[in-house]
Structure 1
Amino acid sequence: MTKPYDAIIVGAGQAGPPLAGRLTQAGMTVAVIERKLFGGTCVNTGCMPTKTMVASAYAAHVARRAADYGVALTGGVGIDMDRVRARKDEVSGNARRGVESWLRGMERCTVYQGHARFVSPREIEVDGEILSAPRIFLNTGGRASVPDIPGLDRVDYLTNTSILELDTLPRHLVVIGGSYIGLEFAQMFRRFGSEVTIIERGPRLIAREDEDISAAIREILEAEGIRVHAGAGSIAFTPQGDDFAVAVSGSEGAANLTGSHVLVAVGRSPNTDDLGLDKAGVTVDSRGYIEVDDQLRTSVEDIWAMGDCNGRGAFTHTSYNDFEIVAANLLDDDPRRVSDRITAYALYIDPPLGRIGMTEDQVRRSGRKALIGRRAMTQVGRAIEKGETRGFMKVVVDAESHAILGAAILGVGGDEVIHGMLDGMYAHAPYSTIQRAVHIHPTVSELVPTMLGEMKPLV
């Protein structure tokens, strides 16, 4: 027997639960299907658990530097991985239980736990039950990609999910992938006390960033004792008892390493291959991402895709914004679009990188006339006072319209400070609006107007 609903939501990540709230408030009956953990990647294996562990690693790092601040510690700094893991589990678990409790207590909402598969464009089967609805929303997220590397299948490798469950400290963690996830774990475990090596196939770390950002981040990591092998055209693993050997060769030479643990962090793949999308006629691209239009509608009428599975943003904030776009168009007669979104994200190493809009390289390649401003964190009083002067900030603006095109802040508080310029971009305000603002002293933010007042032509 088919159970009818007004709407079905597959996946309880960052977009699904708030959409269920809006739909039920509008009087609709909603079925929410979650096959595993409520809250999605962010709550369970992404932002919340990793940033909780980053905070523990930061505490260890500051404790080791205590003498720099005139603080005397005796006995050294020890790491209790059981406690680190327990703290992470508490933070993540509380959030997960909160999402599940909210959904289960929501009026007109029925929660199903199991794997969802399309039977037709309007029907979904979950654990033998058939549910139907005139509107279906997909919020199925993604998972770690595993590359085809010789010998990797003979090694007990870790992903961003399984590494969170370690209760012992790796002797030597080898990180395959020099991008955002890999770098955060690399610095984290180095600060916990592990030997760490990063192996990146590309010519440099985080290749989507400007070269000066990439070089500065490598310098920061290497200063903490992390080894980096970029341009690794050849990588091969060989088991050696409980350990493994990894042979690397490429543009930076050859190396033979012995590691105890390996983290594979080379990207993400969408959870779309086992949804029966062919039964619904939903189109996916060559990488498996569900194709959507500017309002997140799929190729099938009244089926939408939100979050990581649509390839239009791989962040918690973009997933939540997907919910806002769908709800605004469906319920509020407010034609919001994905293309209205400005690129914005952060890299949570220490110091963090806050990034918005276009990179300097993208602006150069666009051919437009532009101005650029730079400021080293060694010239920021607040950073000096805190003893955290690594990194720099920069901004690029259009020379004719004076619109802010993009900015990067690699430095203490960079993930927060960047939002002042991001808000200016959304307000379509010229850079002079921020340049003339009077910011609080002493802060990192107060140097943004100074930087904007010292811009020079981008050549």
Structure 2
Amino acid sequence: MDSEHFDFVVIGGGSAGYAAARTARETKNKVAIIDDGAELGGLCILRGCMPSKTLIYSAEVLHLAHEAEKFGLKIPTATADMAAIHQRKLVTIEDFASYRREQLESERFHLIRDRATFIAEKTLLLAKSGKHITADHFMIATGSVVNTPDVPGLAETPHWTSDDVLDLDFLPESVIVLGGGIVACELAQFLNRVGSKVIQIQRSPLILKETSPDAAKVVEQAFRDEEIELHTDTQLVSVEKDGEAFVVHFTQNGKAQQARAAHLFNALGRKPNTSGLGLAAAGVETRPNGQIMVNHFQQTSNSRIYAAGDVSGPFEIVHIAIIQGEVAAKHARGESPDPVNYNTRTGVVFTDPQVATAGISLAEAAERGLDVVVADYPFDDHGKSILMEAKYGYVKAWADRSTGKLIGAECVGKDAGELIHSMAVALSLGATPADLLKVHWYHPTLSEIWSYPLEDLADEL
């Protein structure tokens, strides 16, 4: 049987995989990347972060045009040209994708366009060529795939996934969105803002259960104010297609209900993409949710094999996947890198208002038994946000009383994803509220809103 040996082999050419391969290549000569996707680039560039945020920004501009009268402006008509929006997205994404392709296809790496399966602890079988691949170390970075829960009729009923929504070149008349997670909420608002009638059905009592209840409630109010038909705390009963319409049967408050629309979007989450990898043959253990178990250096239960990104968690965030990939590759080449510090992580939800966090949550602080001091301030009492008609939300920060240092922050509001980074820097540097009050918080800016809760925290510590 034909075989080839490498220093380091990466399965998956997305953000985590490329970061690992690039880092390994700094000291290793023979690094392979195995990817069997129809396109090279990974989820973020092709079907995730970049295309979704491109579309969301177009919808935000359209929404502001519709709100023109609030700003003393007359804009008689403003509508979405979906074909043009789609084309802009394609052009924008191609810029990122072409650069990634160039890197993956460069002479630095051995790019193998095939499907890989472990047949032993240190051996892969390539499906197309039948070739065996061995290596000193492996990295699994295969990402995630759409999850189709066991809802009667869902698997048999043709439905959209996020891939389909991101590729729309026409305006859907109406859409039922199943789910209330980050992807569901971002794309539900996008569809609503470009002109679709949106019915969103969430099983949990609140949408965005990844965030705090306070944050979720603000976004829920904004959705309802924008006339998204939002149903929460439901039980999905069944899904079917009735003629040209899709029908979802569900219960809410003990009452049977149904939603009907021209299209159905399954946004009920994603799951680790491990099918067909032969993890058992490799001695790689997984959690009940399918994530590959790893240690602080991203090593799996097989010390030769590492995993990073969505396939291992614990957070499905691109910059974390990149750091994980770098940590793994450094460890594989004999170093002792600093593990990923999840205590200073950041996260952003690109709804409007946005939800952004830094550090550990209040729930995590309570679980650790920390004595926490908390302060907040609303956007609807802040000068710059008032003149921008950006009144949804608040900023909130919390510190550990024993050390006086900030340990977490949350921003729900206009441009929260940008505003959170001042707190992210502070947390990473171990700053106290008093330290941050030395900053010249310029007036009038959105950023200066942080100074108000910081003053309250400094007074209490």
Q: TM-score, normalised by structure 2?
A: 0.94
Distance 1:183 1:340, change over 3 A: closer
| Structure 2 equivalent of residue 303 of structure 1 | 305
Partner of 1:153: 155
Contact 2:434 2:458 (8 Å CA) reproduced: no
CA distance in 2, matches of 1:154, 1:117: 29
Q: Distance in 1 between matches of 2:236 and 2:80?
A: 35
Q: Which runs of 5+ in 2 are unaligned?
A: none
Pick one of 318, 322, 325 that aligns with 2:324: 322
Matches for 1:231-242 after TM superposition, within 5 Å:
231-242=233-244
Q: Which aligned pairs between 1:201-280 and structure 2 lie closer than 5 A?
A: 201-251=203-253, 253-280=255-282
Match of 1:11 in 2: 12
CA positional deviation for 1:146: 0.7
Structure 2: distance between partners of 1:343 and 1:145: 25
Q: Distance in 1 between matches of 2:286 and 2:61?
A: 44
- Matched residue, 1:135: 137
Instruction: Report the more deviating stretch, 437-446 or 264-273.
Output: 437-446
Instruction: Tell me how far apart the structure 2 counterparts of residues 41 and 29 of structure 1 sit (CA, whole Å).
Output: 25
- Partner of 2:123 in structure 1? 123
Pair 429,110 (structure 1): closer, same or farther in 2 beyond 3 Å: same
Q: Which residue of 2 aligns with 1:413?
A: 415
The CA distance in 1 between the partners of 2:284 and 2:96, in whole Å, is 32
In 1, the alpha carbon distance for the partners of 2:4 and 2:155 equals 43
Match of 2:92 in 1: 91
Instruction: Output the CA distance in 1 between the equivalents of 2:366 and 2:18.
Output: 41
TM-score by length of 1: 0.94
Residue segments in structure 1 that go unaligned for 5+ positions in a row: none
Of all paired residues, the percent bearing the same amino acid is 26
1:350 is aligned to 2:352: yes
The one-letter code of the counterpart of 2:442 is I
Q: What is the deviation of 1:27? A: 3.9
- In the alignment, what sits opposite 1:114? 114
1:55 paired residue number: 57
Task: Determine the C-alpha separation between the residues in 2 that align with 1:380 and 1:331.
Answer: 51
SS in structure 2 of the partner of residue 454 of structure 1:
helix
Tell me the SS of whatever aligns to 1:161: helix
Does the 8 Å contact 2:32/2:110 carry over to 1? Answer: yes
What corresponds to 2:172 in structure 1? 170
Distance in 2 separating the partners of 1:245 and 1:189: 18
Tell whether the 8 Å contact from 2:7 to 2:30 is kept in structure 1 after alignment.
Answer: yes
Aligned length: 456
**Pick aligned residue for 1:384 from 386, 389, 398:** 386
Deviations 1:169-203 (A, max 9, x none): 22111111111110001100000000111111111
Q: Report the counterpart of residue 284 of structure 1 in structure 2.
A: 286
* Closer, same or farther: CA 429–455 of 1 in aligned 2, 3 Å: closer
Secondary structure at the counterpart of residue 447 of structure 2:
coil
Contact 1:394–1:407, Cα closer than 8 Å, also in 2: yes
Matched residue type, 1:323? G
Instruction: Between 408-417 and 153-162, report the one with greater CA deviation.
Output: 153-162
**For each residue in 1:237-296, what CA deviation from the matched residue of structure 2 results, as whole angstroms up to 9, or x when unmatched?**
232111122222123854322111111112211111211112211112222211111110
Deviation at 1:405, TM superposition (A): 2.5
Residue 16 (structure 1) shift? 1.6
Question: How large is the Cα RMSD of the aligned pairs?
Answer: 2.0
Residues 408 and 28 (structure 1 numbering): CA distance in 2 closer, same or farther, change over 3 Å? same
Secondary structure of residue in 2 paired with 1:345: strand
Contact 2:324 2:340 in 1 (8 A): yes
d(CA) in 2 for partners of 1:212, 1:252: 25
Q: Secondary structure at the match of 2:373?
A: strand
Asked if the contact 1:371–1:456 (Cα under 8 Å) also holds between the matched residues in 2, the reply is: no
In the alignment, what sits opposite 2:36?
35
When residues 347 and 104 of structure 1 are mapped into structure 2, their CA distance, relative to the original with a 3 A threshold, is same
Alignment partner, residue 395 of structure 1? 397
Which residue does the alignment assign to 2:441?
A: 439
Displacement of 1:362: 4.1
Q: What CA distance in whole angstroms lies between the structure 2 residues aligned with 1:293 and 1:349?
A: 33
Is the 8 Å Cα contact of residues 122 and 132 (structure 1) preserved in structure 2? yes
Divergent runs of 4+, >6 A: none
Q: Is the 8 A contact 1:154 1:239 kept in 2?
A: no
Would the alpha carbon gap of residues 252 and 441 (structure 1) be closer, same or farther in structure 2, given more than 3 Å must change? farther
Q: Matches of 2:342 and 2:146 in 1, distance apart?
A: 28
Partner of 2:78: 77
8 Å contact kept, 1:358–1:406: yes
Relative distance call for 1:369 and 1:3 in structure 2 (3 A) is closer
Residue pair 1:233, 1:251 contacting (<8 A) in 2 also:
no
* Structure 2 counterpart SS, 1:274: coil
Seen in structure 2, the aligned counterparts of structure 1 residues 254 and 397 have a Cα distance that, compared at 3 Å, is: farther
1:139 deviation in Å?
0.7
Q: Does 1:193 align with 2:200?
A: no
1:110 aligned partner, one-letter code? H
CA distance in 2, matches of 1:331, 1:2: 23
CA distance in 1, matches of 2:319, 2:343: 11
Q: Answer whether contact 1:296 1:338 (CA < 8 A) is retained.
A: no
Partners in 2 of 1:158 and 1:271 — Cα distance? 19
Q: Provide the rounded CA distance (Å) in 2 between the counterparts of 1:389 and 1:339.
A: 33
1:413 and 1:332, CA in 2 relative to 1: closer, same or farther beyond 3 A? farther
